[in-house]
């Protein structure tokens, strides 16, 4: 595997991880609080909110 291929693969994985974390945070938030505003805010926090939710509840 060349260096260029490795960088491209790493970039794709990181991008997917960020998107998944945001989506997960928004779904957890909406199902818990039933508020689109909170879902957007928690989506911005992404993995921070997911980890908080797991530790708290």
Q: Is the pLDDT of residue 52 over 90?
A: yes
pLDDT number for residue 44: 95
pLDDT number for residue 19: 84
pLDDT digits (tens, 9 = 90+) for 7-33: 665 566 556 666 899 999 999 999 999
CA separation for the pair 8, 49 (Å, rounded): 28
Average pLDDT value over all residues in the chain: 84
pLDDT number for residue 10: 55
pLDDT number for residue 42: 97
Q: Is the pLDDT of residue 41 over 70?
A: yes
SS3 sequence of the chain: CCHHHHHHHHHHHHHHHHHHHHHHHHHHHHHHHCCHHHHHHHHHHCHHHHHHHHHHC
Instruction: Answer left, alpha or beta for residue 35, where phi above 0 means left and psi between -120 and 50 means alpha.
Output: beta
């Amino acid at each position: 595997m060349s260096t260029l291929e490795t960088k491209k693969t790493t970039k794709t994985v990181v991008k997917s991880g960020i998107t998944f974390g945001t989506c997960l945070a928004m779904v957890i938030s909406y199902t818990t609080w039933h508020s689109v505003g909170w879902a957007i805010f928690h989506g911005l926090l992404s993995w921070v909110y997911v980890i908080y939710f797991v530790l708290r509840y």
